[in-house]
Structures are given as structure tokens and as C-alpha cells.
């Protein structure tokens, strides 16, 4: 029986090639879209869930609340914190210190630890951790050579297979050979790790023993193991709680711990430590993430909703087209019923057709998804090498999706078609079915265009916001500045590097600093202002830079000017926001006043710069202090004064190689680093654009189906009107009016939803646009125009048909 149903179903699909093509096309696009979104969702939601003890691993994080209401969060802890916790709170279980991300320069020495290695240097971005052997008792990263015990000794490094292949040719030959890290310390390769999974936030391609950091605290980061006053966000602590232990019960003990160890600091009243689960690490933007890849749970929910809407629209489209098909096949149904077919048998027959269409659509959809994977890696942070159908969960998802779509899309048309009365069916007198008094087909059209309206408005808002960010006055010049990574170990050669660069007419200025004006770095600390007797009730951000920093990035002074080259007094520069927060209204009044950072010396203010964006547009402008300190000059800013960019960069590379032969060259334009701030927002914008286009495409297929159905139902009416003198334009208007009304209803219902969703998205930006009426106007006009063009195609065809054909008897 099943074989017979499938044979008949295949013949029916081949006979009605047009509708079969539309059905398969709409469903396959929907399946491919849903599958790709599911790949993104499973990748982003699966970070570090492969660890067996995943639900017991927590990170110790800190909240600091200031008297003025400001709240800061950090995942970092002071270096002596680990030892004190083990003594004071042994009930926490296993405590593991982790320092990252290293971003080291790796110089390959081979078997000779005294080799120069000048020809084999690698600068590794976002790579490397420093930790103890216990790290591998919490996290399940596999060893292929060696054991975790090798990390007990100082100056030991462990590499992943791919890094060992990169450095030594074959990972099997790497153990026992040597590398130099950051041109400071020679380390011996003690073991090899299997290449880590793609969805982990721990950069374990390079792991260095924590014993190395204990011997040389300043080799990685700063501070010492006796100092409670400084915190680096890179120094984090992970704990493995005992089984059946509540993290909230543990947190109750932190208050006494903080009071004990911060007793001499005023901050003890405003510091709160708590446990953040590993499950939140990939999504909680309050705390630093070693991979620098944080995905909002709101984004994941949005992707899930978009995927559900797209596949729902594809099902709606199938239902509408199947309903149109029913009118054509009414005689077939009537004959079948006269010959004895039961309604149940007809339902099975038409569900067989649905399963066949869905099966073809799923196969085609999988093919489209596989071919689209490289594109997906460009509009999301999903790696291109991630398999589309390699995960068993994805196969299960495809199977469930196919069954669900088959039932949802096929059940209603099967019930409708099988319920035709034989006499009416044979005489082709089938009329539109309704559900709860309303035409189901029309309701589905409203749903489709409502979804389309939301996505189109979302596209317009996100594009407008990103254009606003791109054109926003940042308070500095980002174009034409090329940044290179510096090694402070060779600061004695910095001036030589600058002098040789300035010999080129293509270079107008060079500066050295700890950081560019706007970045993800958030160095901050307590300070005192104007020789007041106590620290201010908020922290300021600070940057170390030489006197050419202001000229290179074109920071504008509103009072005073930059400190002089080689300033021995230790002068400094502040921004307008800092003055506003300390109560100084006139920038000129700040010149000559003193400021003290932490426990440092009082330093005179010689200049006030206009506010500039210290971070992304998501953050408000921070109070900033700029001062000199050569020990923290890690980046060089080079202002290029030529249109021949490639020639200038090649000159920079040549000078760098000549002056710093030990250092791997690494550089990029400052404007590129600014763009990196908004990678996730740009990806969301692209997703909105793509899926808005897909929703329009699918909605138009459904509208075309319903327009065809209605035109068939009113064929005799159209013939009579033409005989009585109706024009083609009049008939087109008559057939289009109802559909345009449906689109208008969809716009009215969807617009408030679109406003709410996009207003919530914009709330994440400190600097943002306002949602305006014209955004809805453009989206609405586009929807109406697209709907009218779609309807007109079938309406004109019906209006130009010979009335003799439509009026003749069956």
C-alpha cells in the first residue's frame, strides 16, 4: 500500500511540475536556513560543555561598587588570592590559577637552547595560558604525549599538535626541543595536547607552567604574589566545587575573607566576590573571556526565533500552495471517492505526497547548507571547517525537522482535500475553506508578512545604527595610523626606530604607548585629585604614552597642551569627563593642579583633551589620565602621510626588521581594530538582511499561491466583468485590493513588535540612534510594493484571459 501511495504521489508531483518546484524551492530554502541557524546555535551554545565536570566548575569573580553608584566587574583576582583561599576556604574544593591570554612571540630554537632563532619567529594572537597541572583535572583536554605532571616544573611549555607541527614540522618530534617566549625565557617542550575542540574559550594551543610565573611574576602580566592592591583581569581563578555543593552557600564565606585581607583598604566595604558558573563564561560580557569571543544569549534567542519563523513561513507557504493545488485536483478527489476511497485513505495519500516533497526539500536543503557554510563563516563567528552534518545532534535535528514539517505542512491540506464532497468536487465547485470563521490562508499571509515586516525594520535599524557608529565623531583620527606591536625588552632601541621611520617622507609622526585611544583594554585604578586628603569615589582609566601620542592620533586640546619630550617632572593629561566628575567646570582651572594615581607620586596636569571614545559605542566615555612610562610601551602608532599605503607599510616592516631583528613583525591599521569592536553587530546586521530577504521570497511564494487560488475561484466573475466592459487595470485592482489589505493588517500588527525588539537591541549602546517613523515607512512601502508586484503577476494573467474560456460550461 505504501509503495502504491508513493508511486501515485510521484506521478502527481511530476504532473504538476510548477507547484512542485515552488513547494520544494520554498521548503528547501527554509530547511537550509533553519539548519544553518541550528549549526550556529549549537556551536555557540556548546562552548566548553564537553568537560565532564562542566556543571561543577566556577570562576571567582568580583564586583566593586563605588559610593557614586558606579559598579565595576572583573574576572581577575590579586596574585596572593589563590594561596589565601586554600588556607581560609578549603571547602571550596580544588582551586586552579590561570593566566591568559599570553599573545606571545614564540622563537623556535630547536634542539639547541642557545640558538638565536632569528629566522623562525611567530607572533601568536589570542593564544596561550599559564596554569598548574590541576587545570587538567577540571578541564578535559586530551594529552597525546606526556602528562600534566610536566607542568609542575618551571620553564616548561606544552603545545597542541597543530602548534607543534607549525613550529617543528612534526609534533612527534617536538618534545624535548626548545623555544624562547617573548625574547626573555627559554622553555622546553614537555608534552603535546590533542588539538582542542573548536568551541572552547580556553586557548590551550600553548600552555606554560605556572611555576614559571611564580619565579618571574613580571614575565606574564604584572604584580607580585604578596601584593593585594593590584588586579589583572588576566589572572583568574577557577574552582571545582565538591559534588552536591551549592555555590550560594560558598559565597557566604567570601564576605569574611574580603574583610580579613582588605582590612586596610577602604574598598573592603564595596567589594563582593562570587562564583560565576563556567556555563556563563561564553555569554557574560561583564567579565573577561580568554578567547575574546562573547556571544549574548539574546543573540542566540534571536537566532532561534528567526530559524523558527523561517521554517514556519516555509510551512505556511506549503499550505497555501497545497490549497491552491486542491482546487485543481478536486475532480481527482471526487472520482476517487465515487470509486470507494475513504477519507482516511485519501489523507494517507496526500500525506505521502507531503513526505515526498519534504524529503526532496530536506536533501536539497542540506546541499544548500553545505554549499553555504563558507558564507556562514563570514557572517558569523562559526569556523568554516565546522561540519554541517557531522554532529549526530544535527542529524537528529534534521529528522525531527522533516517529520515536524511533514505533519504541520501536510496535515491541513490533506484534511481539506480529503473532505471534498464528491458532487462538488467533480463539478469543480470547491470554495475556500475557513477556520474559526476566518480564512486560514489569509491569516497565514498576515503572519508571513508580519514576520517580514519585523525583519525588514530590524535590518533598517541595524544598518542605520552601524552607519551612525561608523560616522560618529570619535574624538581622534583613526584613518592612516598603522599600529605595530613593540617589545618593551628593547625599549633602548625605540628612539632609533622612531628616528629611522621619520626619515621617510611617507611617515609624519610616530608615538609609543601602552594602548591606542580606543580599545578593549580597561586599565583603571583609584586616584586622588587636587591634593585632597582621600581618593575620589570612582576609578579612572589610564594610558601610558609619549608626547607624540596626541599629534599622531590628533587628540584635541581644550586647555594646555601635551607634556614635553623627556619630561622629568612627570606631567600628565586628562580628559573633560574626568574634570566633570571631580567638579572642575572650566578646563583652564585644571592646569597646574595635581593628580595621583594609586599609591604613586603627585603629578601636575599640563593639558586637557576633548573627550574621545575610549571603548566602543556601547560604552559611555570614561574619565582618562594619560601619562608617561616607558616600561608599558607595547604599541607603536605610525601616522602615514601618503596615498601609497603599501609602500609605507613595506618601509615600516623593513625598519622594524632592521632595528628589532629578534622581534616578529606584527601590525595593522588602527581603523581595523575599531571595526573589530562591532563584529557581532555587523554579523547581526548581515543576518537580518539575509533572512529578511529570505522571508520576503518565501512570503511572495505564499502570496502567489493564494492569488492563484483566488483567481481560479473568481474566474467566471472575471469573465462576466470583462464582457460587461471592465478594464484590465480595474480587474487587477479588484483582485489586488484584498491582498494589499492583508499586508496592511500585517504591518499594523507587526510594527509595535519590531519597535520593541529593536529598541531593546539599541539599549546596549551608550551612543545610539532613535527609531524613527521613516524606518517603518520604508519597510511598509517595500512590503506593499513587493506584494502588489507579486499579486499583479497572477492578476494580469487572469484579467487578460479570453472570457469565452472562463464562461463556458464544464
Query: Do the beta carbons of residue 300 and residue 282 sit within 8 Å?
Result: no
Residue 349 has pLDDT above 80, yes or no: no
Radius of gyration over every alpha carbon of the chain, rounded to an integer in angstroms:
34
Sequence-ordered list of residues with C-beta below 8 angstroms from that of 179, at least 6 positions apart, any chain: 106, 107, 108, 109, 157, 167, 186, 187, 189
How much of the chain exceeds pLDDT 90, in percent? 30
Query: Do the beta carbons of residue 288 and residue 301 sit within 8 Å?
Result: no
Tell me the average pLDDT across 151-178. Answer: 94
Query: Do the beta carbons of residue 73 and residue 287 sit within 8 Å?
Result: yes
What pLDDT shows up at residue 545? 94
Query: Do the beta carbons of residue 807 and residue 720 sit within 8 Å?
Result: yes
What pLDDT shows up at residue 12? 61
C-alpha cell read off for 321 = 500552495
- Nearest one of 321, 316, 414 to 706, comparing CA atoms: 321
What pLDDT shows up at residue 326? 60
Cα(567)–Cα(573) distance, integer angstroms? 13
Inter-helix orientation angle 440-471/679-713, to 10°: 150
Residue 549 has pLDDT above 90, yes or no: yes
Given pLDDT bands bounded at 50, 70 and 90, which one contains residue 99?
very high
pLDDT digits (tens, 9 = 90+) for 306-341: 888 888 877 777 777 766 666 566 666 666 666 666
The stretches of 660-714 forming alpha helices (DSSP H) are 670-676, 679-713
Query: Do the beta carbons of residue 43 and residue 386 sit within 8 Å?
Result: yes
What pLDDT shows up at residue 402? 80
**Residue 476 backbone phi and psi in degrees, to 5:** -155, 170
Integer angstrom CA distances of residue 663 from 182, 716, 729: 8, 84, 75
What pLDDT shows up at residue 299? 78
What pLDDT shows up at residue 430? 52
What pLDDT shows up at residue 6? 58
User: Which of 164-173, 320-329, 390-399 is most confident?
Assistant: 164-173
Choose between 748 and 405: higher pLDDT: 748
Cα(576)–Cα(607) distance, integer angstroms? 10
Tell me the average pLDDT across 257-266. Answer: 68
Cα(449)–Cα(751) distance, integer angstroms? 11
Tell me the average pLDDT across 91-112. Answer: 89
pLDDT digits (tens, 9 = 90+) for 265-285: 544 457 888 899 999 999 888
Choose between 204 and 348: higher pLDDT: 204
What pLDDT shows up at residue 8? 61
- Nearest one of 470, 415, 799, 498 to 616, comparing CA atoms: 470
Residue 475 has pLDDT above 70, yes or no: yes
pLDDT digits (tens, 9 = 90+) for 694-713: 777 777 776 776 676 666 66
Given pLDDT bands bounded at 50, 70 and 90, which one contains residue 562?
very high
What pLDDT shows up at residue 437? 37
Cα(220)–Cα(212) distance, integer angstroms? 9
Residue 431 has pLDDT above 60, yes or no: no
Given pLDDT bands bounded at 50, 70 and 90, which one contains residue 428?
low
Mean pLDDT of all residues belonging to the chain: 82
What pLDDT shows up at residue 434? 39
Amino acid at each position: 500500500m505504501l509503495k502504491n501511495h508513493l508511486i501515485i504521489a510521484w506521478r502527481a508531483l511530476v504532473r504538476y511540475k510548477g507547484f512542485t518546484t515552488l513547494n520544494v524551492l520554498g521548503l528547501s530554502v527554509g530547511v537550509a536556513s533553519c539548519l544553518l541557524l541550528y549549526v550556529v546555535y549549537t556551536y555557540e551554545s556548546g562552548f566548553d560543555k564537553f568537560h565532564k565536570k562542566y556543571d561543577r566548575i566556577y570562576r571567582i569573580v568580583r564586583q566593586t561598587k563605588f559610593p557614586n553608584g558606579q559598579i565595576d566587574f572583573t574576572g581577575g583576582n590579586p596574585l596572593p588570592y589563590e594561596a589565601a583561599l586554600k588556607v581560609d576556604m578549603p571547602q571550596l574544593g580544588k582551586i586552579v590559577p590561570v593566566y591568559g591570554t599570553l599573545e606571545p612571540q614564540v622563537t623556535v630554537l630547536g634542539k639547541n637552547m642557545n640558538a638565536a632563532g632569528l629566522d623562525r619567529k611567530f607572533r601568536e594572537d589570542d593564544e596561550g595560558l599559564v596554569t598548574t597541572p590541576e587545570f587538567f583535572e577540571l578541564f578535559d583536554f586530551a594529552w597525546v604525549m606526556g602528562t600534566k605532571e610536566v607542568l609542575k616544573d618551571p620553564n616548561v611549555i606544552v603545545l597542541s599538535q597543530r602548534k607543534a607541527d607549525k613550529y617543528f614540522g612534526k609534533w612527534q618530534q617536538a618534545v624535548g626541543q626548545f623555544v624562547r617566549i617573548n625574547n626573555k625565557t627559554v622553555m622546553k617542550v614537555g608534552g603535546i595536547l590533542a588539538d582542542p575542540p573548536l568551541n572552547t574559550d580556553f586557548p590551550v594551543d600553548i600552555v606554560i607552567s605556572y611555576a614559571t610565573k611564580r619565579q618571574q611574576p613580571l614575565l606574564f602580566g604584572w604584580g607580585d604574589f604578596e601584593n593585594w592592591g593590584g588586579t589583572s583581569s588576566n589572572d583568574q581563578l577557577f574552582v571545582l566545587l565538591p559534588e552536591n555543593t551549592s555555590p550560594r552557600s560558598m559565597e557566604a564565606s567570601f564576605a569574611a575573607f574580603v574583610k580579613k585581607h582588605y582590612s586596610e583598604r577602604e574598598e573592603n566595604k564595596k567589594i563582593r566576590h562570587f562564583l560565576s558558573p563556567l556555563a556563563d563564561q561564553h555569554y557574560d560580557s561583564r567579565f573577561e573571556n580568554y578567547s575574546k569571543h562573547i556571544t549574548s544569549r539574546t543573540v542566540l534567542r534571536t537566532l532561534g526565533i528567526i530559524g523558527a519563523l523561517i521554517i514556519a513561513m516555509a510551512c505556511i507557504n506549503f499550505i497555501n500552495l497545497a490549497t491552491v493545488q486542491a482546487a485543481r485536483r478536486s475532480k481527482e478527489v471526487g472520482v476517487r471517492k465515487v470509486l470507494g476511497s475513504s477519507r482516511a485513505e485519501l489523507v494517507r495519500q496526500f500525506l505521502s505526497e507531503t513526505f515526498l516533497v519534504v524529503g526532496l526539500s530536506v536533501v536539497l536543503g542540506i546541499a544548500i547548507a553545505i554549499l553555504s557554510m563558507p558564507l556562514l563563516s563570514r557572517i558569523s563567528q562559526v569556523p568554516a571547517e565546522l561540519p554541517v552534518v557531522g554532529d549526530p545532534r544535527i542529524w537528529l535535528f534534521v529528522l525531527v525537522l522533516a517529520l515536524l514539517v511533514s505533519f504541520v505542512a501536510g496535515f491541513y491540506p490533506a484534511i481539506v482535500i480529503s473532505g471534498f464532497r464528491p458532487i462538488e468536487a467533480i463539478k469543480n465547485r470547491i470554495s475556500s475553506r475557513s477556520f474559526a470563521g476566518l480564512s486560514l490562508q489569509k491569516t497565514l499571509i498576515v503572519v508571513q508578512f508580519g514576520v517580514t515586516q519585523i525583519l525588514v525594520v530590524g535590518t533598517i535599524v541595524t544598518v542605520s545604527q552601524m552607519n551612525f557608529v561608523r560616522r560618529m565623531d570619535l574624538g581622534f583620527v583613526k584613518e592612516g595610523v598603522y599600529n605595530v606591536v613593540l617589545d618593551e625588552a628593547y625599549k633602548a632601541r625605540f628612539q632609533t626606530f622612531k628616528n629611522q621611520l621619520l626619515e621617510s617622507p611617507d611617515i609624519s609622526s610616530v608615538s609609543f604607548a601602552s594602548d591606542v585611544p580606543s580599545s578593549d583594554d580597561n586599565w583603571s585604578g583609584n586616584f586622588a585629585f587636587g591634593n585632597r586628603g582621600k581618593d575620589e569615589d570612582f576609578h579612572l582609566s589610564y594610558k601610558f604614552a609619549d608626547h607624540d601620542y596626541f599629534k599622531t592620533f590628533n587628540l584635541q586640546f581644550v586647555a594646555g597642551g601635551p607634556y614635553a619630550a623627556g619630561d622629568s617632572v612627570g606631567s600628565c593629561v586628562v580628559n573633560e569627563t574626568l574634570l566633570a566628575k571631580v567638579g572642575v567646570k572650566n578646563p583652564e582651572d585644571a592646569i597646574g593642579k595635581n593628580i595621583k594615581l594609586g599609591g604613586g607620586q603627585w603629578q601636575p596636569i599640563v593639558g586637557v583633551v576633548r573627550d574621545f571614545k575610549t571603548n566602543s559605542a556601547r560604552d559611555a566615555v570614561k574619565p582618562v589620565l594619560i601619562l608617561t612610562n616607558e616600561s608599558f610601551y607595547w604599541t607603536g602608532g605610525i601616522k602615514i602621510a601618503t596615498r601609497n599605503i603599501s609602500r609605507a607599510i613595506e618601509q615600516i616592516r623593513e625598519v622594524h626588521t632592521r632595528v628589532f631583528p629578534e622581534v616578529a613583525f606584527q601590525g595593522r591599521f588602527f581603523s581595523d581594530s575599531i571595526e573589530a569592536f562591532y563584529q557581532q553587530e555587523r554579523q547581526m546586521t548581515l543576518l537580518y538582511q539575509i533572512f529578511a530577504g529570505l522571508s520576503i521570497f518565501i512570503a511572495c511564494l505564499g502570496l502567489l499561491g493564494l492569488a492563484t487560488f483566488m483567481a481560479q475561484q473568481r474566474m467566471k466573475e472575471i469573465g462576466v466583468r470583462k464582457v460587461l466592459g471592465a478594464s484590465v487595470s480595474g480587474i487587477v485592482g479588484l483582485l489586488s485590493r484584498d491582498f494589499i489589505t492583508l499586508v496592511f493588517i500585517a504591518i499594523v500588527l507587526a510594527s509595535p513588535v519590531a519597535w520593541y525588539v529593536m529598541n531593546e537591541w539599541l539599549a546596549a549602546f551608550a551612543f545610539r540612534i532613535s527609531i524613527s517613523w521613516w524606518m517603518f515607512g520604508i519597510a511598509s512601502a517595500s512590503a506593499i510594493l513587493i506584494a502588489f508586484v507579486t499579486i499583479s503577476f497572477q492578476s494580469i494573467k487572469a484579467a487578460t484571459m479570453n472570457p469565452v474560456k472562463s464562461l463556458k460550461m464544464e
